[in-house]
Amino acid sequence: MAENNKEKADIGLIGLAVMGQNLILNMNDNGFTVACFNRTVSKVDNFLNNEAKGTNILGAHSIEELVQMLKKPRRVMLLVQAGKAVDDFIQTLIPLLEQGDIIIDGGNSLYKDSVRRAEEIEKKGFLYIGTGVSGGEDGARHGPSLMPGGSEKAWESVKPIFQKIAAKADGQPCCDWVGPSGSGHFVKMVHNGIEYGDMQLICEVYNIMKD
């Protein structure tokens, strides 16, 4: 890592699938410096040489390097597969972080897992946010709906980033603090249930009218 990249990034993001890449590009467009990492490290270089070319996005080739790039309190967002991968990354991060640093899970985690993680992480002196991210690839790139919940002390540190990158309705950001523990992912679960119910209704009405 170049020495001049130390403590330069506003937020770190782990996971360079389409959602992760688009969210990083959105943050960059809104004036935030983002450091990124991916378990398959070649994806970092591919991203920097293609979609992120000409931006201020920083690439890390290890978790240690990513953490060194972050301003304090450090904000690290995970956009990885729900379940074991989230727990594995949390366990890798914790020895590298300092008290008051923030871990954000932006995947589709089960809210009960977020309740457990919030409790475990807070006991160790760190802060945890589980946030729903809605809007798919296009939303991530141009303005998602965000549903953060967890350690309330963490909200003031992530609020400027989240509300700036979120979609806007009547000039207001589609993002606000929803509550403690696993509430962010609980709201996302309810949100998805309503969305899929709407889709089912549209399909059934279409089928009745067509046939």
Positions marked catalytic: 188, 195
Per-residue pLDDT tens listing for the chain (211 residues) = 456 778 899 999 999 999 999 999 999 999 999 999 999 999 999 999 999 999 999 999 999 999 999 999 999 999 999 899 999 999 999 999 999 999 999 999 999 999 999 999 999 999 999 999 999 899 999 999 999 999 999 999 999 999 999 999 999 999 999 999 999 999 999 999 999 999 999 999 999 999 9
Q: CA-to-CA distance for 9 and 33, rounded, in angstroms?
A: 5
Burial of 198 (0-12, 13-18, 19+ CB in 10 A): exposed
Q: Give the 3-state secondary structure of residue 193.
A: helix
**Residue 39: what are its φ and ψ, rounded to 5°?**
-60, -40
Q: Which pLDDT tens digit goes with each residue over 122-149?
A: 999 999 999 999 998 999 999 999 999 9
Buried b (16+ CB within 10 A) or exposed e, 93-125: beeebeeebbbbbbbebebebbbebbeebbeee
Q: Which pLDDT tens digit goes with each residue over 178-200?
A: 999 999 999 999 999 999 999 99
Whether pTM exceeds 0.85: yes
Burial of 208 (0-12, 13-18, 19+ CB in 10 A): exposed
Contact indicator for 143, 167 with CB cutoff of 8 Å:
yes
Q: What is 11-210's CATH topology?
A: Rossmann fold (3.40.50)
What residue spans define the domains of the chain? 11-210
Average pLDDT over the chain, rounded to an integer: 94
